[in-house]
Amino acid sequence: MGILRSALGHNEVTDDFSRANAVGAFSFGTSIGPESVNAELADTGFLLATDNRKLFVDKNTYGAMWLSTRVSGDETVHEVDLSEKKKEDLDRILKSQPLDRINLVDVPISKVPSRSAGSWGMLKFIQQTMKEHGEPELNLIIVAQAHHVGRVAMQARKLGINPLIPAGLPRRFDRRSKQLWTRDLGFWVPYELLGSLELKRRGQL
């Protein structure tokens, strides 16, 4: 798969997860409210974390997951609408549990530390953690936005990870994102094309 096809959302999906031993939920944009892309990615990752698969989340998918468990069903919350108290609580939780495992309905969840930021850093962290748990062969279900997941899969292969892409990943963009390139397709495609040159220079693609 080429980087252009990936950026346009053309992916090779599978419904055979029999070999999968871990799930990675890679954030997209910065919003973490219940209706955000990151909330959808967190929910999808959680649903796929069955059969003793470990679930790995980054700061924003973890934040969306944490927030969704503390917001009542009739309350609409977006990142920009959060009260200062909620923001302070969320920041405290994220900072106090950089490596801790939390447990939601018996699903083991590991938050990737901020120092492992970016898809490459997150993939390396997942790979190393799985090796430490006696599972050197990593068959990873990659949960990411549809225009992002193909590139993450390419990076996974570069590391010797077998990527598994589920169908039905969100295709929408984060209109409220603080990252301009994740707000719509017009910004995303040139960002990915130019960014891929730097990733290749670093040996990360």
Give the range of the structural domain holding residue 125, as residue numbers without chain letter: 3-202
pLDDT at 133: 87
The pTM assigned to this predicted structure is 0.83
pLDDT at 68: 66
Number of domains making up the chain: 1
Per-residue pLDDT of the chain (205 residues; tens, 9 = 90+): 699 999 999 999 999 999 999 999 999 999 988 889 999 999 899 889 888 898 898 888 888 877 765 443 333 333 333 445 555 555 554 554 433 334 444 456 777 776 657 899 999 999 999 998 899 999 999 999 999 999 999 999 999 999 999 999 999 999 999 999 999 999 999 999 999 999 999 999 9
pLDDT at 66: 73
Q: Kindly write down the DSSP assignment for every residue of 42-105, as one continuous string.
A: HHHHHHH--TT-EEEE-HHHHHHHHHHTSS-TT----GGG--HHHHHHHHHHHHH-SSPEEEET
**DSSP state, 113?**
P
C-alpha–C-alpha distance, residues 95 and 161, integer Å: 29
pLDDT at 92: 55
Sign of CA pseudo-dihedral 168, 173, 176, 181? positive
pLDDT at 104: 42
Helix (H) or strand (E) holding 25: strand 22-25
pLDDT at 88: 59
